[in-house]
Amino acid sequence: MEQGGNGKQKGKRKSLRDSVVWITGASSGIGEAMAYDFSRMGARIILSARRTDELERVKRNCEGPEENIRIIPLDLSETDSLTGKASEAIACWGEVDVLLNNGGMSQRALAAEAEMPVIRRIMEVNFFGTIALTQAILPHFIARKSGYVIVISSVMGKIGTKYRSTYAASKHALQGWYDCLRQEMYEHDVDVSLVCPGFVKTSITLNSLTADGKTYARMGDGQSKAMSAETFSRKLIPKLEKRKAEIFIGGPEIATVWLKRLSPALLNAVLKRAKVT
């Protein structure tokens, strides 16, 4: 399911294979899979996440010339550092064409029990860190009259289920912020795409935070039976080439987005009876 385009652009768009692509959350899951696909395409890529050793592993497994891959470790919760990280990214090749905001964390906790420091931590990474990094790169895009901001959001940015209140809140917040940004960027020829995955088999559930901030350390049923990150990436990249405003990729769970629009009461009845893990 795709929605709309990013409007008529005056600037010259580069194909993704000719672009410098900066990927956050590149040390595992969707970010890692996309790094491999972009490297196969011939793009120059910048890999970012907290764990330098894992970024080095991903770099070794990428295809193409080693000089086409750079590493910039970063922590999205350290928002004051992100302007400097953007300068580092631009300095790699003198330009960045695409920022792929993929870094984030999930949650498994009842809303009434989640401790406020844990709520703040999730919002800091998923929302504040993501928009701070985007703000850091936007002057570069605006000055060049060219750029592409991609945000890996979630179906949870459109609906809500048990145990994911803060995660859903962070994704709903991303949807609103980037919808507004898209309107503001038309005149600067900068595209904005929101990607809403359904279930994808990654470690995000294993690494989810519980009410007191401990690691959940279990694989949810939805993730365990879902498409792989590699399949997701292969489905996503052709859609990114079209620069659609919104992109939905997943299984039957994608239908919940339509159901909420058509009949919120019916969706609520379905979710009320559903087994959610």
* Amino acid code (one letter) for 160: G
Q: Is residue 59 part of a domain?
A: yes
Q: Which of 148, 163, 167, 178 is flagged as catalytic?
A: 167
Indicate the number of domains in the chain: 1
Q: Is residue 268 part of a domain?
A: no
Residue 4: predicted pLDDT: 66
Q: Is residue 137 part of a domain?
A: yes
Active site residue 167: yes
Q: Is residue 84 part of a domain?
A: yes
How confident is the model over 222-250, as pLDDT tens digits? 777 889 999 999 999 999 999 999 999 99
Per-residue pLDDT of the chain (277 residues; tens, 9 = 90+): 666 667 544 446 889 999 999 999 999 999 999 999 999 999 999 999 999 999 999 999 999 899 999 999 999 999 999 999 999 999 999 999 999 999 999 999 999 999 999 999 999 999 999 999 999 999 999 999 999 999 999 999 999 999 999 999 999 999 999 999 999 999 999 999 999 999 999 998 899 999 999 999 887 777 778 899 999 999 999 999 999 999 999 999 999 999 999 999 999 999 998 888 7
DSSP state of 14: P
What CATH number is attached to the domain comprising 72? Answer: 3.40.50.720
Q: Is residue 273 part of a domain?
A: no
Q: CA-CA distances (angstroms) from residue 83 to 51, 89, 191?
A: 19, 10, 20
Residue 185 CA, distance from chain mean position:
19
Q: Would you say 108 and 208 are in contact if contact means Cβ atoms under 8 Å apart?
A: yes
Secondary structure element (H or E) that encloses residue 71, with its range: strand 69-71
Q: Considering only CA atoms, which of 77, 100, 80, 74 is closest in space to residue 20?
A: 100
Containing structural domain, residue 243: 2-252
HSE, side-chain direction, 13 A CA sphere, residue 90: 16
HSE, side-chain direction, 13 A CA sphere, residue 228: 6
Q: Would you say 175 and 126 are in contact if contact means Cβ atoms under 8 Å apart?
A: no
How confident is the model over 21-56, as pLDDT tens digits? 999 999 999 999 999 999 999 999 999 999 999 999
Q: Considering only CA atoms, which of 164, 192, 163 is closest in space to residue 179?
A: 192
